[in-house]
């Protein structure tokens, strides 16, 4: 049995939110607490630091935090906020692990320009592959809807990116004269019979159709059968309509961050 490690804080910085996940022991793949914070609430590194301290106090059920240092791993697609996060954890961790395309992750990156590959896609790809041990396509339904493909040799070979469902509904509402900002919900049918139901069908059924078509096309091009994994904030909504066999793992990215942290600390 591996010895218990110091607690781990995983910080996932996306385009809309910052996710915080706390592991009492990073050898165990279950986060004790997960919180999502809108980026609009993060005004400075001091603001983020207070939120992190509040989370840790909640996890330890005391206002007196433990005196030992904790591990920190950061995945970010917003460079300015990477700096905020690094400064925010200075009192907790002197050496946070920041995930980039150059960090050892257990994946080979076979794309034309790895530098442009988002760390979230690397992390999700690793977690999905390690979970199933077979070729996978991870669909992350967030600000953007991304598809990331890993083959049987644990090689990330590419994928696809499209606007997320929230981005689509907000864009339609703000760039047209008469289309409203609709609530997101499962469409009752393909055929919309009024403006709202037509928008719901177009956004949700359109995203599902794009995902199914793209994944099927990648399978034909690569001659692989892909295990389909859905994750991200809107994964459940897409899953309610998707006909293809799939599995939903809402916090897949935190599992991947835990795995990468452990790999980095073992090397």
168-198, pLDDT tens digit by residue?
A: 999 999 999 999 999 999 999 999 999 999 9
Rounded to the nearest integer, the mean pLDDT of the chain is 91
State pTM to two decimals. Answer: 0.92
H or E stretch at 84:
helix 79-88
Q: Tokens at residue 131, please?
A: 């979970």
Q: Given this model, what pLDDT does residue 37 score? A: 92
Greater confidence (33 vs 90) lies with 90
Task: Please tell me the distance from the alpha carbon of residue 24 to that of residue 223, in angstroms, as a whole number.
Answer: 41
Q: Given this model, what pLDDT does residue 6 score? A: 82
Q: Which fold has domain 108-254?
A: Nucleotidyltransferase; domain 5 (3.30.420)
Active site residue 120: yes
Q: What are the residue boundaries of the structural domains of the chain, listed by start?
A: 8-98, 108-254
Which phi and psi angles does 149 have, rounded to 5°?
Answer: -115, 130
Average pLDDT score over residue span 63-70: 62
Torsion from C-alpha of 56, 58, 64, 66, nearest 10 degrees: -40
Taking Cα atoms as reference points, which of 109, 130, 119, 141 lies closest to residue 74? 119
The strand pairing partners of 147, in sequence order, are 139, 160
Q: What is the pLDDT of residues 224-241, one digit of tens each?
A: 999 999 999 999 999 999
* Catalytic one of 12, 120, 140, 251: 120
- Could you tell me whether strands 155-163 and 33-38 are parallel, antiparallel, or unpaired per DSSP bridges? unpaired
Task: Please tell me the distance from the alpha carbon of residue 192 to that of residue 197, in angstroms, as a whole number.
Answer: 5
Same fold, 8-98 and 108-254: yes
Taking Cα atoms as reference points, which of 67, 73, 70, 100 lies closest to residue 85? 73
H or E stretch at 165:
helix 165-174
Q: Which fold has domain 8-98?
A: Nucleotidyltransferase; domain 5 (3.30.420)
Q: Is residue 65 pLDDT above 70, yes or no?
A: no
């Amino acid at each position: 049995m591996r010895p218990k490690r110091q607690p781990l804080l995983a910080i996932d910085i996306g385009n809309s939110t910052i996710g915080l996940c706390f592991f009492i022991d990073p050898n165990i793949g279950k986060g004790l607490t997960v919180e999502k914070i809108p980026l609009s609430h993060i005004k400075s590194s001091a603001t983020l630091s207070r939120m992190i301290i509040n989370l840790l106090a909640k996890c330890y059920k005391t206002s007196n935090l433990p005196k030992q240092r904790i591990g920190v791993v950061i995945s970010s697609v917003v460079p300015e906020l990477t700096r905020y996060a690094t400064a925010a954890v200075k009192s907790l961790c002197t050496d946070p692990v920041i995930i980039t395309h150059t960090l050892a992750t257990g994946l080979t990156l076979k794309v034309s320009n790895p530098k442009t590959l988002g760390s979230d896609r690397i992390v999700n790809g690793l977690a999905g592959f390690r979970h199933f041990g077979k070729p996978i396509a991870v669909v992350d339904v967030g600000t953007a809807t991304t598809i990331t493909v890993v083959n049987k040799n644990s090689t990330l070979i590419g994928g696809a990116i499209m606007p997320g469902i929230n981005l689509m509904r907000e864009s339609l509402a703000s760039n047209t004269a008469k289309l409203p900002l609709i609530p997101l919900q499962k469409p009752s049918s393909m055929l919309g019979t009024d403006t709202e139901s037509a928008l719901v069908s177009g956004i949700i059924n359109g995203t599902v159709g794009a995902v199914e078509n793209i994944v099927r096309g990648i399978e034909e091009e690569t001659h692989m059968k892909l295990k389909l994994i859905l994750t991200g904030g809107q994964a459940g909504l897409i899953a309610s309509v998707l006909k293809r066999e799939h599995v939903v793992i809402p916090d897949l990215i935190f599992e991947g961050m835990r795995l990468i942290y452990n790999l980095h600390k073992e090397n």
